[in-house]
Structure 1
Amino acid sequence: MTLPDSTHPTPDPGSAAPLYSPARVKELLTRHGLRPTKSLGQNFLIDGNILRAIAEAGGAAPGVPVLEVGPGLGVLTREIASRGAQVTAMEKDERLKPVLAETLAGTDVKVVWGDALDFDYASLPDGTRVIANLPYYITGVLLSRFMHAPGILSATVLVQKEVGQRLAAQPGEDAYGFLSALAALHGRVKHVRDVPKGAFLPAPDVTSSVIRLDFDRSRPAPEAAYLKFVEAALHHRRKTMRNNLRMAGHAGEAIDAALHAAGLRQDVRAEDVPLDQMRHVALELGVVR
């Protein structure tokens, strides 16, 4: 749905503090009787340089369809829209309706009210770019949804620094796991910049990172069976790949033969295995063809 007309006067941009300033954010929250909700992961950006960097890194440009999840007070939303992008913002907290009606007045931003976990991402138009300060508690689930949505070209997102490290990790690195593999199977990951706690109001407990994921839609999407196999192989860190696959139901002798055919030791850990060799094992076990 589109934004309703605000019942509040729109501040004059020329006389008001920038929308991202701490004073303006506090004034908006106070006037609308709101407090950030920790359960919804509400930490509002108050650093203009970082806002501009996110919009730039995300590819916000005239005519580009952009999806933002969790616009909050509309600070990043307005920055993206000011660059001419066609913005759809998805917000769960309906207490923010009057705030967004005020802060996004004069823009053509479309606001969809509802839970991001219930949205059909496959319905997005080709060429969509996600630009968002994601709620930390559902980051992994949302990134997986973005990866599987054929219309989404990229996702430039603010995430916990630890999650950013996992996304960008390579086989053999400490942070490597299923999320790392999932990202690599769908495209490539770029670390844009770290973001200190003080760039948010209220300040979160952790440092954040801006990460850009570019999805390669020119190659076939990984099969569901293969993704399940990779997840099982990586499920228990510090266990051997052989043990993890046995726990997933594969026979020991078949696993041994598959590892040998892929040029891997029987005591190898899955987090040390490059994806091409991982697929070789999956082929030998008949998981994929």
Structure 2
Amino acid sequence: MGQVFLQSRRIAEYEVDLLGEPGTVLEIGPGHGVLTKILVERGFKITAVEKDRYIFGELQSLRAANLNLINMDFLDMAPGSYDYIIGNIPYSISSPIVFKLYEFEFRRSVIMVQKEFAEKIAFPDDMSRLYVNAHVRYNVELKRYVSRKNFNPQPEVDSAILVLEKKKYEEPYPLEFLDGVLVQMFSKKRKKLSNIFDICPEDLADKRPSNLTVSEILGLARLLFDSGSSAHR
């Protein structure tokens, strides 16, 4: 299922509480405005991006000096800087939206996503490109689960609220380089590292990408960067 709409004001207030003191906030996909109304009331300076023209028309009734409504797809939005980013994310495009978030500067993001997707970011059974990219940039916390009964139409799965808190990135190589290594690695995740990369630490040679720790992946990327190559076999 794609877009579903949160009906509970209590849960929406909980999400806004997680942001902190009022500041600039980008809201992704405001829908019928359950979060937007609370953000307006609390005094945040809001940029709300809604793709659907019909829903955008409905949102026009929320006239407020601290609200800027934009009718466009968040995935097409130019990167910017905000204190916060918030949104109840459509299940079907959760991964593209999270990767798009990486282009923005913010202190904290509060997003509600499908339960299983949240768990892949917060504490996965297997390592993934999504997990590593999130954890090198942010402190990630799954705050609570949200029952499917709080949405209309009611989805077949529950949701979860994630908080992403910006942290200092300390590796010597650019994040773009790291992501390139991750793409190579997880596109061949069933192979051993020695069959993916020309250069590989001996203690990792027989491991597969999904069995690595974040620290091991960062160390491998550092070795590849220092050698001037991320060449794969």
TM-score by length of 2: 0.87
Q: Is the 8 A contact 2:115 2:159 kept in 1?
A: yes
The alpha-carbon distance between structure 1 residues 154 and 222, as it changes in their structure 2 partners (threshold 3 A), is: farther
Q: Is the 8 A contact 1:188 1:213 kept in 2?
A: yes
Asked if residue 190 in structure 1 is aligned to residue 137 in structure 2, the reply is: no
The alpha-carbon distance between structure 1 residues 97 and 181, as it changes in their structure 2 partners (threshold 3 A), is: closer
Asked if residue 112 in structure 1 is aligned to residue 73 in structure 2, the reply is: no
Q: Which residue of 2 aligns with 1:227?
A: 179
Cα separation, 2, equivalents of 1:44 and 1:107: 25
Cα separation, 2, equivalents of 1:109 and 1:49: 21
Q: Which residue of 2 aligns with 1:276?
A: 215
- The C-alpha deviation readout for 1:168-212, integer Å capped at 9, x for no partner, is 12xxx5243111111111121011111111100111121111001
The structure with the larger Rg is 1
Deviation at residue 231 of structure 1 after TM alignment: 2.6
Q: Secondary structure at the match of 1:148?
A: coil
Aligned counterpart for 1:53 among listed residues 8, 14, 28: 14
Query: What letter corresponds to residue 77 of structure 1 in structure 2?
Result: T
Q: Which residue of 2 aligns with 1:130?
A: 85
Matches within 5 A, 1:11-160: 41-59=2-20, 61-62=21-22, 64-102=23-61, 104-106=62-64, 108-121=66-79, 124-125=80-81, 127-149=82-104, 151-160=105-114
Q: Secondary structure at the match of 1:82?
A: helix
Q: Which residue of 2 aligns with 1:259?
A: 201
Asked if residue 164 in structure 1 is aligned to residue 115 in structure 2, the reply is: no
Q: Is the 8 A contact 1:189 1:213 kept in 2?
A: yes
Q: Is the 8 A contact 1:146 1:152 kept in 2?
A: no
Gapped regions of structure 2 (runs ≥ 5): none
Deviation at residue 228 of structure 1 after TM alignment: 1.1
Q: Secondary structure at the match of 1:198?
A: helix
Gapped regions of structure 1 (runs ≥ 5): 1-37
Deviation at residue 137 of structure 1 after TM alignment: 2.0
Q: Is the 8 A contact 2:84 2:106 kept in 1?
A: yes
Question: What is the aligned length?
Answer: 226
The alpha-carbon distance between structure 1 residues 120 and 189, as it changes in their structure 2 partners (threshold 3 A), is: same
Q: Secondary structure at the match of 2:66?
A: coil
The alpha-carbon distance between structure 1 residues 284 and 99, as it changes in their structure 2 partners (threshold 3 A), is: closer
Query: What letter corresponds to residue 278 of structure 1 in structure 2?
Result: I
Q: Is the 8 A contact 1:234 1:241 kept in 2?
A: no
TM-score by length of 1: 0.71
